[in-house]
């Protein structure tokens, strides 16, 4: 039985991925900040819950030591993260730090903690949830996209050093997912100087969610990445993400950026 270790498994894509892999006969280690509040995953065979806050350096080391002493881990799915929608001018320093600590450094630190284990095995695979926003940019997402662009670039760079030890690394980049991401998983601010832009962007969220993929559909892409054996880093997930990625590729980055600007500013 293969085993996957998942961060951010309490809801949304993380929970859907835990259930998808469990249904395929995998052992699942589902981590989250408050496992005592989870009432669904703990009802399934071969699903183990563990507490993990990816911003807690010491807890990462402790949890990784515990799971690698107990289980034979095959895949680590770095999924913990949340959105931040705000003009930079409106962000607090704490918001900026927390976004990078969770969405970028959390992925890096969990990965770093597992590398010696995978290196000793000469096998293993890391998969990280990024976003189509790790390949192209939208207004009021600067810190979120700094983190997601960061994970994409870092993953590509890591593919070389990890590959020396027969360890894989991949990213799954979805567009909108029909979860509560725009609720409890979204932090947002307002600023009077950007009110017109905020109204346009916040008002467009409902339409974006109408085209959102289900978390189960994206979980299937995570499973594909985990099992297809391909030497491929990036997996674009969901029809909206695929459409945007193709448009940017065909148009070129500058033409695409100007198209986005026109959509929001009419220029």
pTM (two decimals): 0.94
- pLDDT, position 185: 59
Per-residue pLDDT, 207: 65
pLDDT tens for residues 209-225? Answer: 777 899 999 999 999 99
| Statement: residue 240 has pLDDT above 60 | yes
The per-residue pLDDT of the chain, averaged, comes to 94
Q: How far apart are CA 24 and CA 119, in angstroms?
A: 26
pLDDT confidence bin for 48, thresholds 50/70/90: very high
Which pLDDT value is given to residue 182? 52
Q: How many domains does the chain have?
A: 1
- Among 41-55, 171-185, 198-212, the range of highest mean pLDDT: 41-55
194 pLDDT more than 90: no
Task: Quickly state the pLDDT bin for 193 (edges 50, 70, 90).
Answer: confident
Q: Note the pLDDT of residue 184.
A: 52
The pLDDT tens digits of the residues spanning 90-119 come to 999 999 999 999 999 999 999 999 999 999
Nearest in space to 226 (alpha carbons), one of 2, 1, 7: 2
Domain around 236: 3-265
Give the Cβ contact number of residue 211 at 10 Å. 13
CB 208 within 8 A of CB 219: no
Q: In what order do the strands lie in the sheet with 234-237?
A: 47-51, 27-32, 3-6, 75-78, 125-129, 168-174, 234-237
What is the model's pLDDT at position 81?
Answer: 96
Q: Convert the pLDDT of each residue in 144-188 to its tens digit.
A: 999 999 999 999 999 999 999 999 999 999 999 987 545 555 777
Residue 13 has pLDDT above 70, yes or no: yes
Instruction: Supply the pLDDT for residue 264.
Output: 84
Question: Domain containing 116 — which CATH number?
Answer: 3.40.50.720
Q: What's residue 104's pLDDT?
A: 98
Residue 13 CA: distances (Å) to CA of 85, 121, 177: 20, 28, 8
Residues 126, 4: Cα–Cα separation, whole Å: 10
């Amino acid at each position: 039985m293969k085993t996957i270790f998942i961060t951010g498994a309490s809801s949304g894509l993380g929970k859907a991925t835990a259930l998808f892999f469990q249904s395929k006969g995998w052992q699942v280690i589902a981590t989250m900040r408050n496992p005592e509040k989870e009432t669904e995953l703990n009802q399934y065979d071969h699903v183990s819950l563990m507490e993990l806050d990816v911003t807690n350096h010491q807890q990462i080391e402790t949890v990784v030591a515990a799971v690698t002493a107990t289980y034979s881990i095959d895949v680590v799915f770095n999924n913990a993260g949340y959105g931040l929608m705000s003009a930079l001018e409106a962000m607090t320093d704490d918001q900026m730090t927390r976004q990078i600590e969770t969405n970028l450094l959390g992925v890096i630190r969990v990965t770093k903690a597992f590398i010696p284990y995978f290196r000793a095995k000469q096998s293993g695979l890391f998969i990280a949830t990024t976003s189509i926003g790790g390949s192209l940019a939208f207004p009021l997402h600067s810190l979120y996209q700094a983190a997601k662009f960061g994970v994409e670039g870092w993953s590509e760079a890591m593919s070389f050093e990890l590959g020396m030890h027969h360890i894989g690394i991949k990213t799954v980049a979805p567009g909108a997912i029909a979860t509560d991401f725009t609720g409890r998983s979204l932090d947002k601010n307002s600023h009077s100087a950007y009110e017109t832009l905020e109204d346009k962007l916040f008002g467009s969220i409902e339409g974006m969610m109408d085209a959102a993929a289900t978390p189960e559909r994206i979980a299937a892409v995570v499973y594909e990445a985990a099992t297809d054996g391909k030497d491929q880093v990036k997996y674009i997930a969901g029809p909206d993400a695929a459409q945007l990625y193709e448009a940017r590729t065909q148009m070129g980055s500058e033409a695409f950026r100007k198209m986005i600007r026109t959509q929001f500013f009419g220029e």
